[in-house]
Every structure is written in structure tokens, then in C-alpha cells.
Amino acid sequence: MKLYSRGQMIGFSVLTGLLGAAVIIAGFGWMRQPEPAGEAVEFFETPEAPQENSRYINADNLQAFTEGERENITVYEQLNPAVVNVTTETMSINWFLEPVPQEGGSGSGSIIDTRGYVLTNNHVIENAYKVFINLADGSQYEGTVIGTDPENDLAVLQFTPPRGKELRTVPFGDSTNLKVGQKVLAIGNPFALERTLTVGIVSGLGRPIQTSKQHIIRDMIQTDASINPGNSGGPLLDTRGRMIGVNTMIYSPSGGSVGIGFAVPVNTAKRVVAELIQFGKVRRGWIDAEVVQLFPSLVRYAKLPVSGGLLVSRTKQNGFAERAGIRQGTEPVRYNANVIYLGGDIITAVDGMKTATLADLYSALEDNKPGEKVSVEILRGGNTLKLEVTLADREESRQR
């Protein structure tokens, strides 16, 4: 993975249909403990999108434009003040081994609550020492990172505006019933050119994008609305001015927009943001067992009947997985510096999703909470069995 400077993006691979191409994003970031949330969990009570006759619209004469142009102008006039430019400072070490702040990345964000909460991408603020939020009126405020969710590439920031300053917000829409061909608009700060509007359509739905060896963002929205470095974190909007996605990455062999961009669905963002504001992180469930992704040499050595799946090496003693009936391995073998126990169950599906890889397992459990029960399909002795497993807390499981 190649890291670029401000205004450029980190390459990602597209899981399906885009083999051999690069998916590109931009930014740097950090994380700190969340501030007291108070009543923040009720932040969804944001104002409705203003109607076309809103006092916010200042176009001289909308009747002079076509219907499509009036839609574009109205959405931009309504929501441009609610879209911010997010800039960062990072910390480097000089020749004298002294910490030196330097200019970091740049991206976009949406004000989602009048208390100063801003939704953006995690990669925009990753590894940052300081975060600054720049409003449409030219004012700048230092922001605080409330929480991050790298798995969905989302983050929530907060800044404190002066008393009496009215903040415009971007209202959340619904990404459930989007249609290919539906008109969409993107507002952001590409290449540091602030307050930019681009227009396109929904080009595809349900795109799974693999962002790392372990993580896949599911159900991404594909759009041909022009998205470039600096658009990351900005809103993808419908024609009524409601956020339907968070612009996150593009497919580009050249580094610039070629008409294939991707946005995290707003329904994912709504679910994640509530937890980030309340807890500073997203709590996720996990199968409390050590699993090994099958690979060719292991399949050949153990003479396994399948080439894809997750071998259960060990289970936690008296843990949820063991109590559900999942069996661990009994025959230890060494692979490089690791010990794998052979003879255990092979997990082939979780919560109705095939799990050929670890990334599949993370994806299957991305929206499941500790204490919930999921169906786990296993292969044992040539027979397929289905078990119901209670999920442990992922973070606690990792700490053991």
C-alpha cells in the first residue's frame, strides 16, 4: 500500500469486478478517548432538509434555470454551509530527534448536529496530531476526535463554535431503497478547491470493497459523480438534500476521477455514529475461538476436504463457542513461528454469509453486538452442521 501526500490518496483493491485496479483514498489521522457524551445519542434529531422556498436559498432568480439546474442550485445553497474542510497536522522527527509538527492531509466532512459534531472518513484524520475544521464562512476551529471506526472508514469529530453561532446541518436520509440511475450530488473540497459541487447518478449498489486483509466494507454505493482527493468524508446527497452516503474512495489507475467512486451507505453511518458519540468506538461481537484461514499447504498437509474456510485451532475454555458445541483442534503442528492445532471444526458460514477468509468473518460480524446469537455453519468429518453461537466482545477476546 502506497502512501501519498496531501491531496492524494491511499490505494485500495476492489473486491469484485475491479481486479488489478486501485481504489484510492486520502488522509491521515489519530484517536483519543471520547468526551462525555451527555445526550449526544439523540443527535439524530437534526433539522429536516429545507424546502425549495427556504430563506437559505440566495440564487437571484431560480426561474431562469432549468428544472435540473434548480435542483442543483437549491441543494448547494442549502447544504454548502454544512460541509466543512477538514485539515490536519502530523508530527515528524527532525535530524535532532525533536518532534516537529507539519502539514498533514485534507478532506471534507458534514456537520450532523448543532452541537458541532462532524462526520468524516477515518483515513482523513488518521495519525493526525491536530485536526482543524474550516467552515464555509472562512472561520477555523480546532476539533476533537470523538471516535473512529476504521472498519467502515468513518470518524466523528467535534468543535465548539462561538456562542450564538448558528450551525447548518446535513440531514440523514435512507440508503435502503436507492436505485441505480438515481441522481446524486456530492459537495466537498477536491484538491483543496473548497465548496465544490459535482453531480452524477448511482452507478451501482451493494459493492463489497476490501480495504485491508481483514476488512471489507459492505454495500458500498458506486457513483459517477466526480470524486477526487479532498472529497473524502463529504456527503453524497439525493435531490432533496439528504445524505445517502459518505464519499470515501475512488477507482483510478491515474489518481484522478474516472467516474467510479464509492460512498459508505448512510444507514451504516447512522448505526456507527451513534456508538462513536456514546462510546468512542463501535462494540462488535466475536466468536471466542482462535481460527486459521485455510491456505494451500495447510489443506494439502491436513488433507482437508475444502480449500476455503476457517479452521478452529483453539476455543476458549468454557467460552461461548465451546458451549455451543464448536470443537477445537487436538494435533499441534508448527507453521513458521506459530502452532496450529489440526482436527478442529472448519467454519464455512456465519450469520448466513460464506466465510472463506478472515475478511469474510469480520464482514459477517460487522453489525453484530456482544451477547447476540448467530448461526454458524461448520464442516466436521465430512458432515455439515449448524450451531447457534452467542458472541463475545471482540475487544475483550483480543485482550485475552
- Return the C-alpha cell found at 194: 473548497
Shared domain check, 264 and 361: no
Shared domain check, 182 and 145: yes
Counting every residue, how long is the chain? 400
Shared domain check, 323 and 229: no
Confidence bin at 60 (pLDDT 50/70/90): low
**DSSP-assigned beta bridge partners for residue 246:** 264
Task: Give the rounded percent of residues in the chain with a pLDDT score beyond 70.
Answer: 79
- Domain boundary pick from 282, 308, 335: 282
pLDDT at 18: 40
Shared domain check, 234 and 90: yes
In three-state secondary structure terms, 8 is coil
CA 110 vs. chain centroid, Å, equals 15
Shared domain check, 245 and 291: no
Establish whether 110 is a catalytic residue: no
- Span 313-339, pLDDT tens digits: 999 999 999 999 999 999 999 988 889
Shared domain check, 387 and 263: no
Shared domain check, 171 and 90: yes
How many angstroms separate the CA atoms of 79 and 171, rounded? 9
Establish whether 106 is a catalytic residue: no
Picking from 295, 242, 212, the residue whose alpha carbon sits closest to that of residue 25 is 212
pLDDT at 256: 64
Catalytic residue among 232, 252, 363, 397: 232
Catalytic residue among 113, 149, 153, 351: 153
Shared domain check, 187 and 113: yes
Shared domain check, 250 and 372: no
How many angstroms separate the CA atoms of 359 and 394, rounded? 15
Range of the domain at 393: 285-399
Question: Mean pLDDT throughout 159-183?
Answer: 94
Q: What is the CATH number of the domain that holds 17?
A: 2.40.10.120
CA 217 vs. chain centroid, Å, equals 7
- Span 194-234, pLDDT tens digits: 789 999 999 999 898 877 777 788 889 999 998 888 889 99
How many angstroms separate the CA atoms of 245 and 242, rounded? 9
Instruction: Write out the H or E segment, with its range, that includes residue 232.
Output: none
Top-confidence residue, 119 or 90: 119
**DSSP-assigned beta bridge partners for residue 221:** 263
- Return the C-alpha cell found at 219: 454495500
Shared domain check, 190 and 160: yes
pLDDT at 361: 94
- Domains held by the chain: number: 2
**DSSP-assigned beta bridge partners for residue 145:** 157
- Domain boundary pick from 282, 313, 344: 282
- Domain boundary pick from 247, 282, 317: 282
Shared domain check, 192 and 300: no
Mean pLDDT of the chain: 83
pLDDT at 318: 92
How many angstroms separate the CA atoms of 379 and 291, rounded? 14
Establish whether 54 is a catalytic residue: no
Task: Give the rounded percent of residues in the chain with a pLDDT score beyond 90.
Answer: 62
pTM here is 0.77
How many angstroms separate the CA atoms of 350 and 373, rounded? 11
Catalytic residue among 108, 113, 123, 203: 123
Shared domain check, 146 and 27: yes
